[in-house]
Amino acid sequence: MDSTEDLTDTVEGLKAQREELLRAREQIEMVLTRIDTQLDQLAPPAPAEEHGEPSSPARSRPRPLRLMVLDGLDDLGWMTFSRQMMLYLRARYGRDVSPTRFSSLAKDEIAAFTSKRPRSVYLCHGLVHDRGEAVKRLWGRSDWPLEQRVVAPTTGRIQHLKLTERLCEIARTAGDTAADSEMLRFLAADHAKDLPGVKARRGVFELERWQDIALELLEELEPRDRERREEAAERLARLPEEQQLFGVPEGPLFPLPTPGRAAGGRPS
CB of 8 to other proteins, least distance (A): 13
Cross-strand pairs, 140: 124
CB of 176 to other proteins, least distance (A): 21
Q: Is 10 in the site for other proteins (CB under 8 A)?
A: yes
Asked if 174 and 92 count as a contact pair (C-beta separation under 8 A), the reply is yes
Q: Is 268 in the site for other proteins (CB under 8 A)?
A: yes
Write out the binding residues for other proteins, residues 84-113 only, by CB under 8 A: 103
Question: 3-class SS at 2?
Answer: coil
Asked if 29 and 61 count as a contact pair (C-beta separation under 8 A), the reply is yes
Q: How many CB atoms lie within 10 A of CB 147?
A: 20
The one-letter amino acid code at 201 reads: R
Q: Is 1 in the site for other proteins (CB under 8 A)?
A: yes
Q: Which listed residue (29, 75, 133, 230) binds other proteins by CB under 8 A?
A: 133
CB of 99 to other proteins, least distance (A): 9
Q: Is 138 in the site for other proteins (CB under 8 A)?
A: yes
Q: How many CB atoms lie within 10 A of CB 48?
A: 11
Distance of CA 149 to the CA centre of its chain: 13
CB of 178 to other proteins, least distance (A): 19
CB of 97 to other proteins, least distance (A): 15
CB of 116 to other proteins, least distance (A): 26
Q: Which listed residue (157, 172, 206, 248) binds other proteins by CB under 8 A?
A: 157
CB of 63 to other proteins, least distance (A): 24
Q: Is 254 in the site for other proteins (CB under 8 A)?
A: yes
CA distance linking residue 218 with residue 234, whole number of Å: 23
- 70 burial (CB, 10 Å; 0-12 / 13-18 / 19+) is buried
Q: Which is nearer to other proteins, 176 or 250 (CB)?
A: 250
CA distance linking residue 12 with residue 14, whole number of Å: 5
Distance of CA 232 to the CA centre of its chain: 23
Q: Is 137 in the site for other proteins (CB under 8 A)?
A: yes
CB of 222 to other proteins, least distance (A): 14
Q: Is 265 in the site for other proteins (CB under 8 A)?
A: yes
- 172 burial (CB, 10 Å; 0-12 / 13-18 / 19+) is middle
CA distance linking residue 84 with residue 87, whole number of Å: 5
Q: Is 128 in the site for other proteins (CB under 8 A)?
A: yes
Q: Which is nearer to other proteins, 21 or 31 (CB)?
A: 21
Q: Is 156 in the site for other proteins (CB under 8 A)?
A: yes
Residue count at the site for other proteins (CB under 8 A)?
43
Q: Is 23 in the site for other proteins (CB under 8 A)?
A: no
Cross-strand pairs, 134: 127
User: Do the bridges between strand 80-81 and strand 123-128 make them parallel or antiparallel, or are there none, so unpaired?
Assistant: unpaired
Interacting residues with other proteins (CB under 8 A): 1, 6, 10-11, 81, 103, 128, 130-131, 133-138, 153-154, 156-157, 159-160, 190-191, 193-194, 196, 202, 250, 252-257, 259-266, 268
